[in-house]
């Protein structure tokens, strides 16, 4: 594959595919199907989902999933800046609608889900992660919310069913003093939500931190600067190898035996050591 082909494919993804994916998510995120009339219902994103979307966008910037200076800059043409800005706007509204599709419409369940989302996103601000960990965290977050709403709660509050489900629903309402209220929709709503979340995660995977890939040397230096100090030291040691001073310190000290020549004269008139010890002073 030539360089021109790669550049053309990246342009198609950046200018056509990504905006189409995020616009589709923004349109399908609020779509519901009535359980009785089978009519299409559209729920606009609540205010809380717009706030969650702002928090997610800040996480993308913090985790370097989106580098704002690379997407929007004075050195880029005006049309390129406009196109990049529209792509980021579609990403923002797609994120809000991704929360909307897994958020209950009313009642205590909606408050519990909002607390769950807010707590998870707030904790991510104090965690160290890379782009892959951030995308995995978002996929797990939306997957858990989808299971709770469209599989567990939908089957619990669905009309009909056996005695076990009715008894479980009764005790749940009694235990929460009747504050648990979930609006039921047609089963096709769950399929639409699943397809919406799948498209959203695919768009996040296709979204690159920079519109154009940077050179390998600059990418390596930037990745090195993002590492903690201890990991930077480990990288320097791995590149430079063991230092000579460290190698000398690691060796055991060797003992050197030097030959010493002793010279002197024999004095016969000096008293011996025993005489000096046993002699008494004269009175």
How do residues 229-252 score in pLDDT, each as one tens digit?
A: 777 777 777 777 655 555 445 554
70-101 per-position pLDDT tens digit:
888 888 888 888 999 999 999 999 999 999 99
123 assigned to some structural domain: yes
108 assigned to some structural domain: yes
172 assigned to some structural domain: yes
Number of domains in the chain: 1
Say what the alpha-carbon torsion angle 75, 80, 85, 86 is, to the nearest 10 degrees: 180
Range of the domain at 98: 3-215
79 assigned to some structural domain: yes
Q: Report the distance separating Cα 122 and Cα 175, nearest Å.
A: 29
Chain centroid offset of residue 255 CA: 56
For residue 265, the model assigns a pLDDT of 57
Q: How many CA atoms lie within 13 A of 195 on its CB side?
A: 12
**pLDDT above 60 (res 174):** no
103 assigned to some structural domain: yes
Lowest mean pLDDT among 11-25, 32-46, 222-236: 222-236
118 assigned to some structural domain: yes
270 assigned to some structural domain: no
Q: In 3D, which of 50, 8, 11, 45 has the Cα closest to residue 29?
A: 45
Residue 59: both structure tokens together: 């996480």
* β-strand partners of 41: 32
Let me know the angle formed at the C-alpha of 124 by 144 and 108, rounded to the nearest 5 degrees.
45
Q: In 3D, which of 134, 126, 123, 118 has the Cα closest to residue 204?
A: 134
Q: Chain-wide mean pLDDT for the chain? A: 77
Residue 179: both structure tokens together: 């504050």
């Amino acid at each position: 594959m030539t360089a021109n082909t790669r550049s053309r494919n990246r342009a198609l993804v950046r200018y056509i595919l990504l905006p189409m994916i995020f616009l589709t998510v923004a349109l399908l995120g609020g779509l519901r199907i009535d359980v009785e009339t089978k009519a299409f219902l559209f729920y606009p994103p609540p205010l809380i989902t717009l706030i969650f979307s702002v928090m997610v966008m800040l996480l993308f910037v913090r985790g370097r999933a989106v580098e704002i200076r690379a997407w929007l800059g004075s050195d880029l043409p005006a049309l390129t800046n406009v196109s990049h800005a529209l792509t980021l706007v579609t990403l923002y509204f797609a994120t809000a609608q991704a929360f909307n599709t897994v958020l209950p419409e009313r009642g205590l369940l909606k408050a519990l889900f909002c607390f769950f989302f807010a707590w998870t996103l707030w904790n991510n601000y104090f965690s160290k992660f890379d782009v892959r960990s951030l995308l995995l965290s978002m996929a797990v977050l939306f997957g858990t919310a989808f299971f709770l709403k469209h599989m567990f709660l939908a089957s619990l509050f669905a009309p009909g069913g056996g005695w076990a489900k009715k008894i479980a629903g009764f005790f749940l309402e009694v235990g929460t003093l009747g504050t648990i209220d979930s609006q039921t929709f047609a089963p096709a709503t769950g399929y639409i939500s699943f397809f919406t979340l799948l498209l959203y995660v695919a768009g996040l995977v296709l979204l690159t931190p920079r519109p154009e890939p940077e050179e390998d040397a600059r990418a390596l230096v930037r990745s090195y600067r993002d590492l903690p100090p201890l990991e930077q030291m480990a990288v320097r040691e791995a590149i430079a190898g063991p230092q000579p001073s460290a190698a000398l310190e690691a060796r055991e000290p060797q003992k050197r035996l030097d030959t010493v020549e002793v010279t002197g004269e024999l004095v016969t008139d000096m008293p011996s050591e025993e005489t000096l010890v046993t002699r008494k002073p004269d009175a």
